[in-house]
Amino acid sequence: MDMGRDIELYDTTLRDGTQSEDFNLSGEDKVRIALKLDELGIDYIEGGWPGANPRDDQFFHEIQNYSLRHSKIAAFGSTHHARYTANEDPNLKALVAAQTPVVTIFGKTWDIHVRDVLRISLEKNLDLIQESLSWLRPRVQTLFYDAEHFFDGYKANPDYAIETLRRAWAGGAECLVLCDTNGGTLPYEVTEIIRDVREALGKGMRLGIHCHDDAGVAVANSLSAVRAGVTQVQGTMNGLGERCGNANLCSVIPDLVVKMGYHCAAEENLARLTSISRFICEIANLPHNKYQPYVGASAFAHKGGIHVNAIQRNPETYEHIEPGLVGNMRRILLSDLAGRSSILAKAREFGLNLDSQDPIIKDIVAQLKELEAQGFQFEGAEASFELLMRKALGTYRKYFDLIGFRVIDQKSKDDGPTQAEATIMVHVGGHVEHTAAVGNGPVNALDNAIRKALEKFYPQLKEMTLLDYKVRVLPGNPGTGAKVRVLIESKDQHNKWGTVGLSYDIIEASWQALVDAICFKLIKSERGR
């Protein structure tokens, strides 16, 4: 094992990742993500398949207007069709026309695919591989070959699988990428097969690895492959990809650099990993996986009082790395497990002056436990908890007083839309404001009405938008008589914050969360944060 050597990172989020369910990108989105991957220091960015759809063609055209600092763009395609010669094949011509510095093509390795999918002879498939690469070699700067279904193909017919690699190398491929396309290979198999490949081909051939996560071991397989001698790792940000996804580069990169001592260009920008991971989800309008290793919001979150007390003394007791290495942060969660250490940690985080011997801490802990017993949850609503602490400390300011509100949700016929209208009366700035607004549903109407009443007094609320709204029916009373918990996530140009409300009435629970969100924004504005 050659520890410390350089590893190339090949990102395929813009191609493989877009095959993930619910992950959709426009051409402009793909350009924005490519620029972020360049900031991270990814060596190769696979942009898509030229000629496959207008979105990919737009990307290859638009990305030429940018000068990337490090990354090289790759176009992806297949070996030429059996009914064409390489010189006639429109797929190969489209790859060259994309004018990318890198071209990657894949070919069939598994004999069952050759017979049952391509329906050609095994020898003909070998010709397709070598002829395609030979035709591309003088026309492109850098040429890679993806051996599709390599591990399954090797297990079924090792001699033929090895021969496909020989023919790809003879055709001019600079790196032979071994693909676990079905994602069912295990780490010990990866190690053994790569050892066999290196013995058969010699150590002069560069190898890469491309893993899918159907058996839950794509990251482990990629790391095993590096230990076995591969020098290029392919994967996607956040593990996106078809079915169960691809090897997650957000785990692979810190594992290689921090844990295993290998080097890559992204090593210098590791502290950007979390923000770029979340940026990609934002562009695709997808929630970020909070439980994701290294970059998830829960990756360094601590809930139990014993854990919190320990990490306050020495973070190594319950954290495998320093969160800042990957741009993440330590979070102290608030729950009925919380104790004095949790409250003090949150007070410091909120900038509140709270002495460790202050008896108010015991009151806050008791109040927290009581509220969570009722069904409140503050893990995703830390803004509401900061307001709770401010009230306990006597530093909470009331920005307005509710006189009353009414929400009407009207439906006049079965196949017609509902019409929601909210009327609200508040006392603010020495005046009584009485306003009404409509919305897409009763909660949206109520949100619009309260903003309409307050924005003339607090114009900074115009900067605030509601990002997410979740309703959870709590166990207890059956059916529609149950309590509901509403979680609202809000944001402005600088921050995001969560608030919570709880009631048997969904409108009342929503009102509580909305009021907390507004008040938190106003406090933030006063404090310049």
> How high is the pLDDT of residue 471?
87
Region 468-485: what's the mean pLDDT?
78
308 pLDDT exceeds 60?
no
Q: 114-150 burial string, b = 16+ CB within 10 Å, else e?
A: beeebeeeeeebbbbbbbbbebbeeebeebbbbbbbb
- Whole-number average pLDDT of the chain: 90
Residue indicated by tokens 């306990």 = 392
Residue 107 and residue 472: Cα distance in Å, rounded? 48
Region 301-330: what's the mean pLDDT?
74
Q: For residue range 70-125, list pLDDT tens digits in order.
A: 999 999 999 999 999 999 999 999 999 999 999 999 999 999 999 999 999 999 99
Sign of the torsion formed by the C-alpha atoms of 393, 395, 399 and 401: positive
476 pLDDT exceeds 80?
no
Query: pLDDT confidence of 526, banded at 50, 70, 90?
Result: confident
Chain mean position to CA 374:
33
C-alpha distances (whole Å) from 107 to each of 110, 127, 155, 160, 181 are 9, 11, 17, 13, 12
The strand ranges marked E within 190-298 are 207-211, 232-235
Query: pLDDT confidence of 337, banded at 50, 70, 90?
Result: very low
Q: Which residue has the higher pLDDT, 371 or 67?
A: 67
**Using an 8 Å Cβ cutoff, are 498 and 382 in contact?**
yes
Q: 342-352 burial string, b = 16+ CB within 10 Å, else e?
A: bbbbbbeebeb
51 pLDDT exceeds 60?
yes
Query: pLDDT confidence of 437, banded at 50, 70, 90?
Result: very high
Region 30-34: what's the mean pLDDT?
94
Letter for the amino acid at 217? V
What percent of the chain has pLDDT above 70? 92
Residue 372 phi/psi, 5° resolution? -70, -30
The helix/strand/coil state of 438 is strand
316 pLDDT exceeds 80?
no
The candidate with the shortest Cα–Cα distance to 164, out of 109, 112, 117, 123, is: 109
203 pLDDT exceeds 90?
no
Q: Which two tokens stand for residue 210?
A: 């491309």
Query: pLDDT confidence of 445, banded at 50, 70, 90?
Result: very high
> How high is the pLDDT of residue 342?
64
Helix axes 218-228, 187-201, angle to 10 degrees: 30
Q: Cite the DSSP H helix spans in 137-157.
A: 150-156
Residue 413 phi/psi, 5° resolution? -155, 160
What are the chain's domains?
8-283 (3.20.20.70), 301-370 (no CATH), 401-526 (3.30.160.270)
pTM of the model: 0.72
C-alpha triplet 316, 291, 488: angle, nearest 5°:
115
Residue 426 phi/psi, 5° resolution? -135, 155
Q: For residue range 478-513, list pLDDT tens digits in order.
A: 666 788 989 898 988 888 898 999 999 999 999 999
> How high is the pLDDT of residue 284?
84
The helix/strand/coil state of 498 is strand
**Using an 8 Å Cβ cutoff, are 446 and 405 in contact?**
yes
Region 130-149: what's the mean pLDDT?
98
Residue 522 and residue 210: Cα distance in Å, rounded? 49
Q: For residue range 206-240, list pLDDT tens digits in order.
A: 999 999 999 999 999 999 999 999 999 999 999 99
The strand ranges marked E within 152-221 are 175-180, 207-211
Query: pLDDT confidence of 336, banded at 50, 70, 90?
Result: very low
> How high is the pLDDT of residue 1?
47
Region 147-161: what's the mean pLDDT?
97
**Using an 8 Å Cβ cutoff, are 71 and 63 in contact?**
no
C-alpha distances (whole Å) from 64 to each of 35, 61, 99, 510 are 12, 6, 9, 47
Q: For residue range 249-291, list pLDDT tens digits in order.
A: 999 999 999 999 999 999 999 999 998 998 898 788 787 898 9
C-alpha distances (whole Å) from 388 to each of 378, 406, 426, 499 are 10, 26, 22, 11
Instruction: Count how many Cα atoms sit within 13 Å of the Cα of residue 411 in the half-sphere of its side chain.
Output: 9
> How high is the pLDDT of residue 426?
96
Do β-strands 431-439 and 175-180 pair in parallel, antiparallel, or remain unpaired?
unpaired
> How high is the pLDDT of residue 304?
59
